[in-house]
Amino acid sequence: MTNQAFLLLIALLMVQLASSANTKQLTSGIPFGEDKAPRVSWNRLVALRNRANFIGRSCKEVKEKYVQSEDGLYYLTTANGVVYQTFCDMTTAGGGWTLVASVHENNIYGKCTVGDRWTSQEGNSANRPEGEGNWMNVKTFGTAEAATVDDYKNPGYYDIEAEDMSVWHVPNKTPMTIWNLASIMRYHTERRFLKLFGGNLYQLFHRYPVKYNVGAYLSDNGPSIPIVYDLGDKESTKMFYGPNTRGETEGGYISFRAINHERAATAICSGVKPKGGQVDAYCIGGGGYFPEGNPHQCGDFTSFAWDGYGTNRGWSASKEMLESSVLLFYR
């Protein structure tokens, strides 16, 4: 999708929203291209501030205890008492989904440079087999509203006791109020798989460390979990990845800790299950060392541009995929 096409899409979505019952959401957005910043009543601000009185560890708890059905920012409290704001999807498949993280590629030309928080910010080096280690620690960064312009990780990532995950691929720079509508792919799991792995990704990745040289491709990969699509399907997913990827993956899954031919570890393969060892072409995040073509595989979106930027040829993902952030939700 070109930039112009994207702007057109946004414009169309605005019209769609304006003519729907969802106008309250629209007025609280900050879409660019609008004539000016939105007007919001004082009563609306009071209502938003009153959400600070809700007490729960997850959007699911807030939804159930306080009967909330509007998507948007809510306050959550961790087991240790950390209070934070994040986005709750209160509508998809019953709602109650907590945004806990986003993976955003700020510069595909930068190979494990600043901004590659889900891989390494200090280059491609065997000295740091875990890289930043952020899949497996309690460090946080970014903000919910900026989840499509920067990496994001909040305390819910390690605190929430969840059962399922939901994933949205949202074009970069999309305003929060239209993430849902602007997404290019959305899906969730339904089998409560997280109960088997400690309740969240922090725990799962302690069982399956995202670290160079922990095992061999295919045989030492982490779990692959079936998904249910909320937007898109197996076929559209395949088209977002390069043609070579289509032959090496099976659609309809989210996969964790996938290892490549050279023993480099990636964190998440969104929408697919690896059937080979070129996982760096379609799985995101990872350890701090990728031996092949050093340092060209190293980065949050690994080697999504291996055969050119957004060409969708060879191993290269499409421009839509490359320029979308991956938003991770728990429920």
The nearer residue to a second copy, 182 or 279, going by C-beta atoms, is: 182
Minimum separation from the CB atom of position 127 to a second copy (A): 5
Interacting residues of 49 by C-beta distance below 8 A, sequence separation 6+:
none
Give bridge partners of residue 229 from the DSSP assignment: 187
With contact defined as beta carbons under 8 Å apart, do 246 and 279 qualify?
no
Minimum separation from the CB atom of position 29 to a second copy (A): 7
Minimum separation from the CB atom of position 232 to a second copy (A): 26
The nearer residue to a second copy, 195 or 313, going by C-beta atoms, is: 195
The nearer residue to a second copy, 40 or 228, going by C-beta atoms, is: 40
Give bridge partners of residue 73 from the DSSP assignment: 87
The nearer residue to a second copy, 71 or 248, going by C-beta atoms, is: 71
The nearer residue to a second copy, 110 or 251, going by C-beta atoms, is: 110
The nearer residue to a second copy, 32 or 235, going by C-beta atoms, is: 32
The nearer residue to a second copy, 115 or 232, going by C-beta atoms, is: 115
Minimum separation from the CB atom of position 272 to a second copy (A): 27
Minimum separation from the CB atom of position 238 to a second copy (A): 28
Minimum separation from the CB atom of position 271 to a second copy (A): 26
Structure tokens at 241: 């990845």
Task: Say which residue the tokens 């088209």 belong to.
Answer: 239
Question: How far is Cα 144 from Cα 190, in angstroms, rounded to an integer?
Answer: 24
Number of Cβ within 10 Å of residue 244's Cβ equals 18
Q: Which residues of the chain form beta strands (DSSP E)?
A: 72-77, 83-89, 97-103, 152-153, 165-171, 185-188, 224-226, 228-231, 249-259, 265-274, 283-286, 324-330
First and final C-alpha spacing in the chain:
31
Minimum separation from the CB atom of position 123 to a second copy (A): 8
Buried b or exposed e, range 139-178, using 16+ CB within 10 angstroms:
ebebbbbebbbbbbbbbbbbbbbbbbbbbbbbbeebbbbb
Question: How far is Cα 14 from Cα 128, in angstroms, rounded to an integer?
Answer: 45
DSSP 8-class letter at 141? B
Minimum separation from the CB atom of position 32 to a second copy (A): 4
The nearer residue to a second copy, 72 or 274, going by C-beta atoms, is: 72
